[in-house]
Structure 1
Amino acid sequence: MVEHVYSMGLYGLDAFVVEVEVDLSRGLPAFEMVGLPDAAVREARDRVRAALKNMGFQFPVSRITVNLAPANKRKEGSLYDLPILIALLRASSQLDASVEDSIFLGELSLSGAVRPIRGTLPMAIAAKEAGFRRLFAPAQNAAEGAVVQGLEVYPVRNLESLLAHLTGRVPLSPILPGDTPSQNDGLFPDFAEVRGQEEAKRALEIAAAGMHNVLLIGPPGSGKSMLAKRLPSILPDMTFEESIETTKIHSIAGTLPTCTALIRARPFRSPHHTVSAAGLSGGGILPKPGELSLAHNGVLFLDELPEFSRSAMEVLRQPIEDGRVTISRASGAVSYPCSVMLVAAMNPCPCGYFGHPTRRCVCSAGAVSRYLSRVSGPLLDRLDLHIEVPAVEFDKLDSSLPSEPSSSIKQRVDAARAIQNDRYRGTAISCNARITPECLHTICVLSDDARNLFKHAFETIGLSARAYDRILKVARTIADLDGSEQIQAVHAAEAVQYRALDRKYWTREL
Structure 2
Amino acid sequence: MIYSFEPFGYEGSLVDVEADIRDGIPAVDIVGIADSAVRESRERTRSAIKNSGFEFPQKRVLLSLSPADLRKNSAIHDLAISLAVLCSAYRKEPVEKTLALGEVSLDGTLRPCNGMYAAMQSALRSGITRTVLPEGADNPPKGMKAFYAKNLKEAFCILTDFDKVSEDDKSDVSGSSVEFPELDDGESPDDVFLPNCDENTVKAVVAAVAGRHHLLMWGAPGCGKSNAAMSMRKITPLPTYDEFQSVKRIYSLAGLLQKDRKFVPFRVPYTTATIEGICGGGVNCRPGEISLAHNGVLFLDEAAEFRTSVLQMLRVPTETRNITLSRAGRSTVYPADFQLVMATNPCPCGNYGSEKRLCLCSSKSVEMFWKKFSAPLLNRIQISIRVDSPETDEAKSKMTIEQAREIVAGAVRRQRERGEMNGTASLSSIERRFDEIAEPDAKSSLSSVSESFSELEILSLKRIALTLADIDGSDNILQKHIDGAVALHQRTPALA
Same fold (TM over 0.5): yes
Q: Aligned-pair distance for 1:217?
A: 0.6
Residues 72-83 of structure 1 aligned to structure 2 (within 5 Å): 72-83=69-80
Go from structure 1 to structure 2 and tell me whether the alpha carbon gap of 1:229 and 1:467 turns closer, same or farther (over 3 Å shift).
Answer: same
2:119 match = 123
2:151 match = 158
Query: CA-to-partner distance for each residue in 1:212-264, whole Å, 9 max, x for gaps?
Result: 0000111111111211122122233432211222222211221101x32xx53
**CA distance in structure 2 between the aligned counterparts of 1:264 and 1:61, rounded to whole angstroms:** 48
2:466 match = 476
Equivalent residue in structure 1 for 2:307, among 306, 309, 313: 309
**CA distance in structure 1 between the aligned counterparts of 2:216 and 2:486, rounded to whole angstroms:** 15
Q: Aligned-pair distance for 1:483?
A: 3.1
Task: Provide the alpha-carbon RMSD of the alignment.
Answer: 3.0
2:130 match = 134
Q: Aligned-pair distance for 1:485?
A: 3.0
Equivalent residue in structure 2 for 1:458, among 430, 442, 450: 450
Counterpart of 1:203, as a letter, is A
Equivalent residue in structure 2 for 1:411, among 406, 425, 430: 406
1:441 match = 431
**CA distance in structure 2 between the aligned counterparts of 1:39 and 1:326, rounded to whole angstroms:** 28
Q: Does 317-326 or 21-30 show the bigger shift? A: 21-30
Counterpart of 1:486, as a letter, is N
SS at match of 1:479: helix
Go from structure 1 to structure 2 and tell me whether the alpha carbon gap of 1:66 and 1:311 turns closer, same or farther (over 3 Å shift).
Answer: farther
Asked whether the 8 Å contact 2:80–2:100 carries over to 1, the reply is: yes
SS at match of 2:139: helix
Asked whether the 8 Å contact 1:232–1:298 carries over to 2, the reply is: no
**CA distance in structure 1 between the aligned counterparts of 2:168 and 2:240, rounded to whole angstroms:** 23
Q: Aligned-pair distance for 1:414?
A: 1.8
Equivalent residue in structure 1 for 2:476, among 458, 477, 486: 486
2:221 match = 220
Query: CA-to-partner distance for each residue in 1:313-362, whole Å, 9 max, x for gaps?
Result: 12211111122222233433322222221111111123322222112234
Unaligned runs of 5+ in 2: none
Equivalent residue in structure 1 for 2:2, among 5, 13, 24: 5
Percent of matched pairs sharing the same residue: 34
2:142 match = 148
2:230 match = 229
Query: CA-to-partner distance for each residue in 1:174-208, whole Å, 9 max, x for gaps?
Result: 23137999998513676535233221110111111
2:339 match = 341
Asked whether the 8 Å contact 2:38–2:77 carries over to 1, the reply is: yes
Q: Aligned-pair distance for 1:154?
A: 0.8
Q: Does 25-34 or 227-236 show the bigger shift? A: 25-34
**CA distance in structure 1 between the aligned counterparts of 2:327 and 2:54, rounded to whole angstroms:** 42
Asked whether the 8 Å contact 2:103–2:112 carries over to 1, the reply is: yes
Residues 22-421 of structure 1 aligned to structure 2 (within 5 Å): 22-25=19-22, 30-60=27-57, 62-91=59-88, 93=89, 99-141=95-137, 143-145=138-140, 147-149=141-143, 151-166=144-159, 173-177=166-170, 186-187=182-183, 191-192=192-193, 194-257=195-258, 259-260=259-260, 263-363=261-361, 365-393=363-391, 395=393, 403-421=398-416
**CA distance in structure 2 between the aligned counterparts of 1:43 and 1:311, rounded to whole angstroms:** 41
Asked whether the 8 Å contact 2:22–2:60 carries over to 1, the reply is: yes
1:18 match = 15
**CA distance in structure 2 between the aligned counterparts of 1:346 and 1:495, rounded to whole angstroms:** 21
If the length of structure 2 is used for normalisation, what is the TM-score? 0.88
Asked whether the 8 Å contact 1:195–1:403 carries over to 2, the reply is: no
**CA distance in structure 2 between the aligned counterparts of 1:506 and 1:293, rounded to whole angstroms:** 31
Counterpart of 2:321, as a letter, is G
**CA distance in structure 2 between the aligned counterparts of 1:62 and 1:18, rounded to whole angstroms:** 24
Asked whether the 8 Å contact 2:194–2:202 carries over to 1, the reply is: no
Unaligned runs of 5+ in 1: none
Q: Aligned-pair distance for 1:295?
A: 1.4
**CA distance in structure 2 between the aligned counterparts of 1:483 and 1:219, rounded to whole angstroms:** 35
SS at match of 1:83: helix
Asked whether the 8 Å contact 2:215–2:341 carries over to 1, the reply is: yes
**CA distance in structure 2 between the aligned counterparts of 1:294 and 1:244, rounded to whole angstroms:** 13
Asked whether the 8 Å contact 1:186–1:265 carries over to 2, the reply is: no
SS at match of 2:340: strand
Asked whether the 8 Å contact 1:89–1:95 carries over to 2, the reply is: yes
Query: CA-to-partner distance for each residue in 1:107-136, whole Å, 9 max, x for gaps?
Result: 112232111112222322333343434310
Q: Does 183-192 or 274-283 show the bigger shift? A: 183-192
Query: CA-to-partner distance for each residue in 1:347-384, whole Å, 9 max, x for gaps?
Result: 11233222221122344555444332222111111110
